[in-house]
């Protein structure tokens, strides 16, 4: 595996994103929602860079890939999301690939009457989107490669890596 984005670069971008979000949500009732499991590490770092008070919630989305890198059927669960009625929700995922996951998660949230919904992704894969939306915030654009680390997995491994690594054919 080769390192695509090292820990220092991630720290810098997450710091800047936290500042931008702090400015954008000053005096607003913000709830940051982590789309599990992939965004766990990113959100843990991001919320500590957001200086305006906010709440944290989690939602679960999984398109079970098993041993492959091809997504299966998408399942979304909002059972752990706190009350978001009248609040400004920022939904955070690890990576925006085709965009289907974030689009579906946003749709699921709309029925809970938040006052606004925006989205953030750590990574944005170039040239892959099949949806109209783009994330409101993201940290890095990457080429169409399969990446792991900093929360992202391959078959549930490698999430703990402090950097983003590219999986090569030989690793799969
Ligand atoms: P989308 O629905 O945008 O196509 O895919 C988003 C989800 O697919 C992400 O939340 C992530 O779980 C998974 N995914 C997409 N690309 C990658 C990748 O390169 N590496 C890993 N580990 N997961 C990916
Ligand atoms: Mg995911």
pLDDT tier for residue 11 given thresholds of 50, 70 and 90: very high
CB of 153 within 6 A of ligand 1: the answer is yes
- In the prediction, which pLDDT does 150 show? 98
Copy the structure tokens of residue 51: 């200086």
Element (H, E) at 45: helix 40-47
For ligand 1, atom 15, which residue shows the shortest CA distance? 97
pLDDT (tens digit per residue) in 26-57 = 999 999 999 999 999 999 999 999 999 999 99
pLDDT at residue 18 tops 90 = yes
Hey, is 39 helix, strand or coil? coil
Ligand 1 centroid vs 96 CA: distance in angstroms? Answer: 7
Pair of tokens at residue 68: 């492959």
Query: Which atom of ligand 1 approaches the CA of 96 most closely?
Result: 3
pLDDT digits (tens, 9 = 90+) for 111-133: 999 999 999 999 999 999 999 99
**How far apart are the CA of 90 and the centre of ligand 2, in A?**
16
Report the C-alpha gap between 98 and 5 in whole angstroms.
21
Vertex 59 angle, CA 159 and 126, to 5°: 60
pTM of the complete model: 0.94
């Amino acid at each position: 595996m080769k390192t695509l984005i090292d820990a220092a670069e991630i720290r810098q971008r997450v710091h800047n994103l936290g500042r931008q979000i702090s400015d954008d949500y000053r005096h607003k009732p913000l709830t940051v929602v982590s789309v599990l499991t992939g965004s766990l590490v990113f959100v843990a770092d991001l919320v500590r860079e957001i200086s305006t008070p906010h709440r944290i919630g989690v939602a679960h989305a999984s398109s079970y890939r098993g041993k492959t890198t091809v997504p299966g059927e998408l399942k979304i669960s909002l059972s752990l999301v706190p009350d978001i009625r009248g609040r400004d929700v920022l939904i955070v995922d690890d990576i925006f690939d085709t965009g289907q996951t974030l689009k579906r998660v946003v749709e699921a949230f709309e029925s809970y009457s938040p006052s606004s919904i925006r989205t953030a992704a750590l990574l944005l894969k170039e040239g892959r989107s099949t949806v109209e939306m783009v994330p409101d915030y993201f940290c890095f654009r990457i080429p169409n490669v399969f990446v792991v680390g900093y929360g992202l997995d391959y078959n549930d491994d490698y999430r703990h890596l402090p950097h983003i690594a590219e999986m090569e054919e030989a690793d799969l």
